[in-house]
Amino acid sequence: MFTFPVKIRQVQWPWNNKTTPESVFPILETYFSHRKENRVRKEAQYSFHEVTRPDYGLVHSVIAVSPIFHAEGGNESDYFTIRIYQKPLSNLHMAFNLAEHHKTRIEQLIAALGPDHYPETYFLESSELLIVLQPFLFHPVCDFSTRLDVYNLIELLFLASKSRILLDYNHNHFLRARDGNLYYVDTDYMGVLCSSEFNALHSNLNQSMIFISESNAEFIPEKLMTFADQNQERLAFSRLFLTLLEEYVSLCHTDEVNVSPKLMKKINVLSDILPMIKLD
């Protein structure tokens, strides 16, 4: 089912002493028992795999869970990423609820990025645990080599910054779907919510420049103008985006002695193409 390099290792139980099958399986059943299956499933039996996408550097593997069927074989819809968070054992008011903390941040990502850019998510809970299930996306890591990639990046910057969220710009967190759409698949973001939309865009743009290269920078004028043409809110964002991008380029030229040759090539391309952007 994969069309890109992955490392997969089947594991009996991925969480060591964090929790037990006896506490997890009944919670999983609250979801899987209501799915309509064309095959007969072995009730309360699941397989687990550690999956790593080695592209663009080493990252932590994700755990995938799949119900076990009597017949061999699995479909893409059978596999889910699974994350487990423990709730505090104490009922004291000052006890930090790590599960609630992560749930809130995931809900903020869902609200900010929407279904076009964030995976469908299910929260399953008991008094002790929060389980986060998301369909495993069999999409490759996005290399931002196409015009549509650049457009999707601009849209993600807009949506995240509007919600004052600073995304985590690890390449492995951005997957390109078959239709060319772009998914942010991390369940967290960097730091606390930014103090303003401006500060969020400033930080998001600086961090996302890791994805802009000498070869794809030429797509920015066309895609930014296309984005700006949609409505007044996106036009205002595009003007601010352009202003901050111009400042970024200017600062690099000012500090040229400390700018790497690779970055300078990108800056020179941006210097040439930014005057082409006309935002009326």
Question: How confident is the model at residue 92, as a pLDDT?
Answer: 63
Q: pLDDT band for position 69 (50/70/90)?
A: confident
Q: What is the tens place of the pLDDT at every residue in 95-150?
A: 678 899 999 999 999 999 999 999 999 999 998 999 999 999 999 999 999 999 99
Q: What is the tens place of the pLDDT at every residue in 198-214?
A: 999 999 999 999 999 99
Residue 242, pLDDT above cutoff 80:
yes
Structure tokens at 76: 């893409």
CA 195 to chain CA centroid, nearest Å: 22
Mean of pLDDT values over 222-228: 97
Provide the percentage of residues in the chain whose pLDDT is more than 90.
73
Greater pLDDT, 93 or 180: 180
Question: How confident is the model at residue 91, as a pLDDT?
Answer: 66
Q: Which residues of 56-82 are buried (b: 16+ CB within 10 A; e: fewer)?
A: eeebebbbbbbbebeeeeeeeebbbbb
> pTM of the full predicted structure?
0.92
221 CB neighbour count, 10 Å cutoff = 16
By the 8 A CB rule, do 279 and 232 touch? no
Question: How confident is the model at residue 205, as a pLDDT?
Answer: 96
Question: How confident is the model at residue 73, as a pLDDT?
Answer: 66
Q: pLDDT band for position 88 (50/70/90)?
A: confident
Contacts of 211 (CB under 8 A, 6+ apart): 144, 153, 169, 171, 174
Output phi, psi for 42, to 5 deg: -80, 110
Q: pLDDT band for position 55 (50/70/90)?
A: confident
Q: pLDDT band for position 179 (50/70/90)?
A: confident
Mean of pLDDT values over 256-267: 86
By the 8 A CB rule, do 49 and 81 touch? no
Question: How confident is the model at residue 174, as a pLDDT?
Answer: 95
Residue 267, pLDDT above cutoff 70:
yes
What is the full DSSP assignment across 240-269? HHHHHHHHHHHHHHHTGGGS-HHHHHHHHH
Report the C-alpha gap between 186 and 134 in whole angstroms: 11
Structure tokens at 48: 């687990």
Question: How confident is the model at residue 16, as a pLDDT?
Answer: 82
Quote the strand ranges of 58-156, DSSP E: 62-69, 80-86, 122-125, 129-135
Beta-ladder partners of 237: none
Beta-ladder partners of 82: 133
What length is written for the chain?
A: 280
Report the C-alpha gap between 8 and 170 in whole angstroms: 20
Mean pLDDT (the chain, rounded): 91
Mean of pLDDT values over 247-272: 89
